[in-house]
Amino acid sequence: MTKIFVIKTQVGQEENVANLFEKASRRTGKIYAILAPKELRGYIFVEGEDIETIKRIIRHMRYARDVLEKDIKIEEIEHFLFPPSAVANIEEGMIVELISGPFKGEKAKVTRIDDAKEEITVELLDAMVPIPITVRGEQVRILKKEED
């Protein structure tokens, strides 16, 4: 049975460290998969056989900081493997707040949801004329389930 180890990396260099691990594994073997989830900054997961191989690899690796002594179970990282849709909890009619982009801070009503693109179309509540704006699902925060 393989083990999954947590590697501390320099923030923003997660993918680079994953690539460096892949290169190193050609020489050392005993590395089976490397995972760098988008949600996790400063850490990646490496599936291998033993911690000694990983320690040897990161000793001279740029951007890799350390490996946590205790390995983790696959169940603990399962939610990273299947990230939920950004629009999973959003429904038409909901009141949301835009949290990034040019309309940051504005409140809006959801008029349409595109599951495939994970985008929603909203109408700003304070606008004089309702203009539909399409934004990414992660760009909003849900305020109210349904308009009162």
Interface positions with other proteins (CB under 8 A): 1-2, 4, 14-15, 18-19, 21-22, 25, 31-38, 45, 47, 74, 77-78, 80-83, 116-118
Smallest distance from the beta carbon of 89 to other proteins, in angstroms?
Answer: 16
Q: How far is CA 25 from the centre of its chain?
A: 25
Cβ-contact 100, 135 below 8 angstroms: no
Nearer to other proteins among residue 21 and residue 103 (C-beta): 21
Q: What does R_g of the chain's alpha carbons equal in angstroms? A: 21
Nearer to other proteins among residue 106 and residue 119 (C-beta): 119
Separation CA 23–CA 20 (nearest Å): 5
Cβ-contact 89, 142 below 8 angstroms: yes
Smallest distance from the beta carbon of 138 to other proteins, in angstroms?
Answer: 10
Nearer to other proteins among residue 95 and residue 137 (C-beta): 137
Nearer to other proteins among residue 22 and residue 147 (C-beta): 22
Smallest distance from the beta carbon of 98 to other proteins, in angstroms?
Answer: 19
Smallest distance from the beta carbon of 49 to other proteins, in angstroms?
Answer: 9
